[in-house]
Amino acid sequence: MYRLMRNIHLILGLVFALALGVYLLSSVRLAHRSWFSAAPTVTEHTYPVDPERAATPRALGQYLIEEHGIRGEIARVQPAQDGKFSLLIRRLGTGYQVRYDEGAAQALVRESKQAFTGMLLSMHFAHGFWHENATINVWGAVLLLTSIGLFAIGVTGIYLWFKTYDERLIGSVLLGAGLVFAFVSLYLVRSQG
């Protein structure tokens, strides 16, 4: 049983190391924004539009995705005001801010491409399976499996530690200190609002 638990522990740690690395780097990026270049690369494009297929912001977004190869999901739609509307099409690390005057034959698209750490940051906040973009859904599945894997790593790690009689005392101290640190940190973060 010990050998099986050790193998599960090691294999899960290796399999999910990449996903954990994404969270590690993006957390450092969140905590120390000044260390990284935060300015995205911004370019503007004008795309021809069939006004009949751009009656609503969502219809325009779908048209741009289908006809002009903009990849992503329609994320933020602003209702029409004075005959103008805007929407955001996004994927991991890239956003397309679309502005359009109703009935016009073209749309202005402002593409904002994040640097590598900016893309990792967008991965940090991406979750769930309800997205139109398959890449974000796949990343959501990876996060779900990583969460389950971390739980299994914890359970197998405690089992392995308990079976190593010589290290029970230091293991107990480290486990207790880790739990106290985690709960105190959680309390402090939540109490700050």
- The per-residue pLDDT for 138 is 86
Q: Percent of the chain, pLDDT > 90?
A: 10
CA–CA separation, 27 vs 34, rounded Å? 13
DSSP string over 58-84? HHHHHHHHHHH---SEEEEEEEEETTE
pLDDT reported for residue 193: 62
Tell me the mean pLDDT in the region 103-132: 82
SS3 103: coil
Residue 132's pLDDT band, with cuts at 50, 70 and 90, is confident
